[in-house]
Structure 1
Amino acid sequence: MAPSVDRIDWAAPWLQPLRAVGQPLAAQVVQGAPVHQALSAAPGSPLRFVPQSDLPEGTAYEQYIWDTRCVPTRDNLHDFFNGLVWLHWPQAKRRMNQLQAQAIAAQGVGAVRGPLRDALTVFDENGALLQAPEPLWDALRARDWQRLFIDLRPLWAQARMVLFGHALMEKLGQPRKPMVAHVYPAPTAIETIANLDAWLALALQPEAWATKPFAPLPVLGVPGWWAANQSASFYDDAQVFRPARSVMAMRGGAVGADSASS
């Protein structure tokens, strides 16, 4: 069954880094090409994309990719975006795949991922890099949403958020206010995705990443990403823009696992 790539809004700000490559590939899929075929035909593809049926039964997905440099791919939007991330972030994706494969070799697949594999999966599915002045990062880490998005709003002109997580890209096909990215800081001086890719591949160090060094950020709160957030009242929704756990504890409040205070 063909994925709904024909409904991708390529004008969405979070898809701008992928548009030049992604839109022509999406057109091929709409015209009937399997997702794996369209992705493999992309210029400079770092590996092959193969049908999901090529994955041998009982073989871990990550281990298969590491051993064969082939990515099993289904005909759906989720795997289409995963392929686009591979095309734009080949060094970081390869490094993540290496760490996953090493952990599987050492620990087996198991019913529960260890801390490192869990962190890598979280970022692979829902991660983003944020290049921003330090005051914005201070406010984000403190979950001070008023300061982050209203008081310091002019500073966002000096910031850039780049999505990495393919599941988040898929979900943003139907944007909802509670959608959260797990954000990792990147140097503001890096301009191109290729250079960000090289930097991230080096930054993927097991000891640090096992701690999940991310900050949750509701993506539709990013200035310029959603028309409704031009109004300050957009950020008054306490179910989305929740304070940090320590503040909630002092107030006797409970924090949901999927909230922006996670």
Structure 2
Amino acid sequence: MTEAAAESGAGTARRRFIAPPREQVDAACFQHPLFGEFAAWHALMTADDWPDIETLNACMSLPGRCFVAQDAALLEDGEHYEIRIQQGRIATRLQNWHDLFNAMVWARYPAIKHAFNAQQCRHIAVTGPTVRNRAQQALTQFDETGVIVRVRDIALVDAWDTHDWSTLFQAHAARWRNGDIAVAGVIGHALMEQMLVPGRLLVGKCLVVQGDDDSACIARVAEAIMAGEVLAAPAELRPLPLAGVPGWHPQQDADFYAQADYFRPLREGRVYPRPLR
């Protein structure tokens, strides 16, 4: 059983994930629903060669911002990564899966990435560039491993509140399929990077919104982040074993859902916030 480093959270001692070389990645992995909202950039993921900075900027126009190569010359300015973004420069490592996926998330969900940056810069202005408070940890966790889940009926999160995974995924399977509950958006580029390795069982860290429209729910999350309504601490984020989502894993029988090392029980005292409205 291999679980995404996403579940460990920031500041742990788990070994850093190293993505496979481009030539070793099976392009079939990009057909997974995790990549569903990023089809416009399928060629950037599957081409034989890595895209350069000029290609990224041509494919992903971001008003007021552009991607710049993170090289020794750039780093000489000594600026914090987030401060450069505030200035309009998104430092991007070349030939790097993590940063390619980060660029794709910028292009797909610019309002959320802008909100991340605005909040990080606000905290840096107070605590300085070397201290990270709980809110910054939460922002980073959602940036790296975040998933937005939309629910029509708020009662659907009751099973999630107690980590009753069999009810959430099996008993409510039809409701996942008809859109009563759905993954509205994948924000975490670290999740995308980990999906490059077959067999990894990933855990997203979620914000939940009650609503009917995916785009409106994503916009609500961006608004809430910008306003500081959410992500004051990592404990606000709900873990979601993504392989349990109906249709997201080839084996979803009773034995699969019985794996307690992946579908983990609720920790004593853990309480999640109610969905955004």
Q: Which runs of 4 or more aligned residues in structure 1 lie more than 4 Å from their structure 2 counterparts after TM superposition?
A: none
Question: Could you say which residue in structure 2 is the equivalent of 1:259?
Answer: none
Question: Could you say which residue in structure 2 is the equivalent of 1:256?
Answer: none
Unaligned runs of 5+ in 1: 249-262
* CA deviation map 1:120-147 (0-9, x unaligned): 0000000000112323311112111121
Question: Could you say which residue in structure 2 is the equivalent of 1:124?
Answer: 143
* Separation in structure 1 between the aligned mates of residue 80 and residue 112 of structure 2, nearest angstrom: 20
1:168–1:181: 8 Å Cα contact kept in structure 2?
yes
* CA deviation map 1:172-198 (0-9, x unaligned): 111445421001102332233xx4443
TM-score, scaled relative to structure 2: 0.79
Question: Alignment identity in percent?
Answer: 32
Give the secondary-structure state (helix, strand or coil) at the position aligned to 1:244: coil
Give the secondary-structure state (helix, strand or coil) at the position aligned to 1:239: coil
Pick 1 or 2: higher relative contact order, CA cutoff 8 A, min separation 6: 2
Letter in 1 for 2:195: L
Question: Could you say which residue in structure 2 is the equivalent of 1:258?
Answer: none
| Cα distance, 1:146–1:197 mapped onto 2, change above 3 Å | closer
169-178 or 95-104, which deviates more: 169-178
2:89 is the alignment partner of 1:70: yes
| Cα distance, 1:224–1:48 mapped onto 2, change above 3 Å | same
Q: CA deviation at 1:25?
A: 2.9
Give the secondary-structure state (helix, strand or coil) at the position aligned to 2:214: coil
2:105–2:187: 8 Å Cα contact kept in structure 1?
yes
Q: CA deviation at 1:12?
A: 0.9
Give the secondary-structure state (helix, strand or coil) at the position aligned to 2:268: helix
Which one of the candidate residues 114, 121, 124 is aligned to 1:101? 121
Which one of the candidate residues 37, 62, 70 is aligned to 1:52? 70
| Cα distance, 1:141–1:37 mapped onto 2, change above 3 Å | farther
2:211–2:217: 8 Å Cα contact kept in structure 1?
no
TM-score, scaled relative to structure 1: 0.83
| Cα distance, 1:3–1:232 mapped onto 2, change above 3 Å | same
The CA RMSD measured in Å over matched residues stands at 2.3
Which one of the candidate residues 82, 86, 98 is aligned to 2:106? 86
Q: May I ask how many residue pairs the two structures share in their alignment? A: 239
Which one of the candidate residues 57, 73, 77 is aligned to 1:40? 57
Give the secondary-structure state (helix, strand or coil) at the position aligned to 1:72: strand
Give the secondary-structure state (helix, strand or coil) at the position aligned to 2:91: strand
Larger fraction in helix: 1
Which one of the candidate residues 231, 248, 256 is aligned to 1:209? 231
Letter in 1 for 2:61: G
